[in-house]
Every structure is written in C-alpha cells, then in structure tokens.
Amino acid sequence: MDKKKLQSPAVTVADVARHAHVSKSTAARVLGGYGVTSEKVRERVQASAKSLKYRANELARSMTTGKSKTIGVVVGDIENSFFGIAVRSITDVANASGFNVILTNSDENFDVEREAVNVLVGKQVDGLIIAPANRYQTAHLENLKSLNCAMVLFDREVPSLEVDTVVSDDFESASKATEQFIEAGHRRLAFVTETLESGMDENGELLIPTSSVGRRISGFLSACRAGGIPQEDSIIVLNADPDRGLSASISKVLDQADRPTAMLASDSHVALKIFKQAKRRDIDMPSDLSLIAFHNADWTEVTNPTITVIDQPVAEMGRWCAEQLIKRIEGVTEPPLRHVMKMQMIDRQSVETAK
C-alpha cells in the first residue's frame, strides 16, 4: 500500500518576508494591499510570494482589514439565462476590483432566500446583491440595513426599503407590447407568469410578490384598458398549481374554446412553455396565436417562428449593481439610487394580425 504524502506546511507571511529580505510587517502590507511601500520592495515581495507559491489566509486578512473581499449574490433561478448573464457581469466587475463572489439560489422562495442571506452574513461578506423573491416579506433585508451591510437590489425593488436598486422599464415595455397586440387586431389577450397565486389586496388588486412581474402586469392591464379590451378578455395566467407547474395553467387556457389569440410572457422560460404547449395542440403560431416574451434568450432566435422579444440590458444591469455595491463597500455615502434601464423591442415572426 502506498503511503499518503503529507501536505507541505502552508507558506506564511514570515516565510515570504525572509525570502524577500524584508520585515514581516512590510511583507504583510504588500500582500495585504494596504499601507505604503516602495515599488522596488513591492515587486520583490510579490516575486517571493510567487516563487514560494504563497496563498493568502483570507480569515487573517479580514481580521486585519475588516474586509473579506467577498460579495454575496442571491438570485431567483440560476438555470434562467437572465440571471446567468447578470451573474457573469457581476463576477467580472467584482474580480476586476479584487473581490470574489459567493452565489446562492433562492428558487424564488422567501424562506430559502432568508436563510441564504443569513449564511452569507455569517461568512462576513462585504456586501450583497439580491433579487428579492417577495416584496412583501422584507424583515431580513431591513435587518441587513440595521447591520450597515452594503446591499443593492437587482431587477426587483422593495418600495419600503431605501437602498440602491436597478430595474428595467417594466411597466412601459409591457404596455408597448400589449399595444402592439391590440394594433394587430387582437381582442382577447393573456399575460402569463410563473408567479404563484397569492390572493388579492383590499382593493381587489392581485398580490404579486415579484415586483418586476407586478409592474409588467400593471402595464399590460393599463394598455388593455386604454385599448378598450374588456376585463374578462384581459387574462392573467398565474401558476395555480405548484405541484403540476405553470404548464398546467397554460394548458387550461389554451384548451378553452375562446382561448386568447395573443400572449405576453413574463420571461423566456414562460415563453418556451407556451411555445411547447401550443405545438402539442397544433396551434399555429403566429396565425392562431401571437407571442411576445420578455428577455432575448438564445432559443428565441432559432424557433419557427422566431419569437418577438423585449430585450433587457441584463449584462448592464448586473454591471451597475456590482459597481454600485463596491462604491458602497468603499465608503461612498450618497443617497440611495433607483436606476431604471430601458428595454428594446426586437420584432421577429411571432406576432401577426388577428384573424
């Protein structure tokens, strides 16, 4: 039996200092990125660290500087390309500024999100970027503020929380897409979202936990009212059965004799489910069913027909979040910003004049 090789002891700051012929405190300043040293000494210490294959003790560094150089990111569904693109931009900006990123997935579940936030705070991240799953349950976010933890909200705002937030022009873009349907002669329309049914408020308005989806529904309904579409023909399709999923709700609507002739999908995952269910029923698209989707996912360009989309500047939104969070971590104290980015309609083949 081969004997297991013992691991070599970790190279310490003292080892690097001896190799570079400098004091331990000087080596610590160079390796920790703080204090003042000459260019010549800095190069010598860095060369010694590389030669010895020195790796920083992040725990010790954080105790010295008070910073962990890590950012926590909580998104709804990492399988959704929307979040994947955003996380890539966040990571690129963070890495360029010397930060590492810890990514967690909430599955659009408040309890999971709250636990993820607690874990990240426990790991002493310097700040958090969060896509809140529920705008009505925010105690954990309020607690972050009380802890003076830097925080930026991505894509979804919480009106009661005064923190930096980046969103898209959801209301306006949903309104324009709906107007396009109406101008094409469609009189029975549906907005489809993965959001679970959550009841109504005292005014009879739907309680939509995800603020971006809520703004899109509001834009859809506003355009329907302005276009003279009756309330019963302005349909909101929610995920009514979590066990069976949204496809069951879509199937129910498409199986109706007076099914909608146009659908607006809250994201590309929803649009793909609509597309699949329509194909299974031999519903011709776009002659029998027009479709517009939020988010320009890759698949929307290769289907037959190709899908008209509302393209969100996802990479730019992620970049803004990371840059703003790093500013806060570094001590910028300007009032909280609400940054709105405009989306762009990309017309393809999935919208046609109603029969």
Q: Which of residues 5, 30, 65 is at a domain's end?
A: 65
Residue 5 placed within a domain: no
Residue 348 placed within a domain: no
Q: How confident is the model at residue 2 (pLDDT cuts 50, 70, 90)?
A: very low
With a cut of 50, say whether residue 332 has pLDDT above it: yes
Contact 316, 89 (CB under 8 A): yes
Phi, psi of 224 (to 5 degrees): -60, -45
55 and 75 in a single domain? The answer is no
Q: What is the mean predicted confidence (pLDDT) over 132-157?
A: 92
Residue 285 placed within a domain: yes
Percentage of the chain modeled with pLDDT above 90: 71
Residue 2 placed within a domain: no
Q: What is the mean predicted confidence (pLDDT) over 156-185?
A: 96
308 and 175 in a single domain? The answer is yes
Residue 198 placed within a domain: yes
222 and 90 in a single domain? The answer is no
99 and 204 in a single domain? The answer is no
With a cut of 80, say whether residue 16 has pLDDT above it: yes
268 and 211 in a single domain? The answer is yes
Residue 188 placed within a domain: yes
Q: How confident is the model at residue 3 (pLDDT cuts 50, 70, 90)?
A: very low
Q: Which of 31-40, 306-315, 317-326, 329-338 has the lowest mean pLDDT?
A: 31-40
pLDDT of residue 11: 84
Q: What is the mean predicted confidence (pLDDT) over 176-205?
A: 88
pTM above 0.85, yes or no: no
With a cut of 90, say whether residue 181 has pLDDT above it: yes
- pLDDT tens profile 101-117: 999 999 999 999 999 99
297 and 321 in a single domain? The answer is no
- pLDDT tens profile 266-322: 999 999 999 999 999 999 999 999 999 999 999 999 999 999 999 999 999 999 999
18 and 90 in a single domain? The answer is no
pLDDT of residue 32: 75
- CATH number of the domain at 48, please: 1.10.260
CA distances from 244 to 162, 247, 271 (A): 37, 7, 17
241 and 268 in a single domain? The answer is yes
Residue 225 placed within a domain: yes
- State how many domains the chain has: 3
Contact 185, 137 (CB under 8 A): no
pLDDT of residue 58: 56
Q: Which of residues 40, 65, 90 is at a domain's end?
A: 65
Higher-confidence residue: 118 or 242? 118
- pLDDT tens profile 142-154: 998 888 889 999 9
110 and 18 in a single domain? The answer is no
- pLDDT tens profile 210-269: 999 999 999 999 999 999 999 999 999 998 677 778 999 999 999 999 999 999 999 999
130 and 43 in a single domain? The answer is no
Q: Which of residues 36, 65, 94 is at a domain's end?
A: 65
Decide: helix, strand or coil at residue 266: coil
Instruction: Render the burial of 117-132: b for 16+ CB within 10 Å, e for the rest.
Output: beebbeebbbbbbbbb
pLDDT of residue 340: 97
DSSP assignment of 214-255:
HHHHHHHHHHHHHTT--GGGEEEEEE--TTT-HHHHHHHHHT
pLDDT of residue 217: 95
- Cβ neighbours of residue 151 under 8 Å, at least 6 residues apart? 127, 128, 129, 130, 141, 144, 145, 163, 164, 325, 328
193's enclosing H/E stretch is strand 189-196
What does the block give as tokens for 248?
């069951």
pLDDT of residue 56: 72
Q: How far apart are CA 142 and CA 115, in angstroms?
A: 14
254 and 280 in a single domain? The answer is yes
180 and 154 in a single domain? The answer is no
pLDDT of residue 10: 81
- Average pLDDT taken over every residue of the chain: 90
Residue 189 placed within a domain: yes
pLDDT of residue 29: 85
The most confident of the ranges 47-51, 65-69, 219-223 is: 219-223
- CATH number of the domain at 202, please: 3.40.50.2300
Range of the domain at 275: 170-312
